[in-house]
Amino acid sequence: MIDKLHYISQQGEDGSQLTAIRQALAAGCKWIQLRVKNQPREVILDHAIAASELCKPYGAKLIIDDHPDIALQCGAHGVHLGLQDMSVAEARRMLGDNMIIGGTANTFAHIQQRAAAGVDYIGCGPYRFTTTKEKLSPILGLSGYQTLVDLMDAANIRIPVIAIGGILTEDVLPIRQAGIYGVALSGAITFADHREDVVKQIYQHLNDPSLQQVI
């Protein structure tokens, strides 16, 4: 089961990703994507092993960004692949059928490509400008998501799409109403004054009974 709320790790106020992950878990996040960029493999692996141990008591799923080998080594639940990363087919051969593979998309062509490759979910964005990601793809906005949902419906593509990129708490309900399955957030949780309240509100929006027919 793909959770509707993905927490994307970043450095917290004390400069530590692990502190930010610990706080997100304590606030109620059940899906953590470890995103450590521009660091040696050994540093990423150390973070992954520590994050895996943090997730276990909460029963939270850990997804490793970019590195299937590290996901396998640290006992994570899966990997998230960017468009320039290892192919989904190669990652699947490495990880087997039981681990989760997510893939990045920005266009409907990307979504078709990811669907054909057999990903378990698609991280699609950016919703708006964000400083978290380098080499930002064209902004989608709400209308962009609505168009993608219509195209997916017409093509009978049924894969959970997770909106990502500068999303705030107040954006979650409109994004869900546009037909998107879930959201990925980073700063809106990392730097919230009352994280537990924020996470609770996000889940309420995501699980609104009136939206249960949304893909």
Tokens read off for 12: 């917290």
φ, ψ (nearest 5 deg) of residue 34: -80, 120
Q: Is 182 inside any structural domain?
A: yes
**CA 80 and chain centroid, separation:** 8
Q: Is 87 inside any structural domain?
A: yes
Q: Is 61 inside any structural domain?
A: yes
pTM above 0.85, yes or no: yes
**Cβ(164)–Cβ(143) below 8 Å:** no
Q: Is 3 inside any structural domain?
A: no
Q: Over the chain, what is the mean pLDDT?
A: 94
Burial class, 40, CB count within 10 angstroms (exposed 0-12 / middle 13-18 / buried 19+):
exposed
Mean pLDDT of 203-208: 94
Does 15 have pLDDT greater than 90?
Answer: no
Does 21 have pLDDT greater than 70?
Answer: yes
Q: Is 171 inside any structural domain?
A: no
Does 215 have pLDDT greater than 70?
Answer: no
Q: Is 45 inside any structural domain?
A: yes
**Higher-pLDDT residue of 136, 128:** 128
pLDDT for 212: 54
Q: Is 95 inside any structural domain?
A: yes
Q: Is 58 inside any structural domain?
A: yes
Does 183 have pLDDT greater than 70?
Answer: yes
CATH code for the domain in which residue 118 is found: 3.20.20.70
What residue numbers bound the domain in which 49 lies? Answer: 9-166+178-188
Weakest-pLDDT range from 36-50, 97-111, 135-149: 135-149
Q: How many distinct structural domains can be found in the chain? A: 1
Give the containing element (helix H, strand E) for 182. strand 182-185
pLDDT for 64: 98
Does 68 sit behind a cis peptide bond, omega within 30 degrees of 0 on the bond before it?
Answer: no
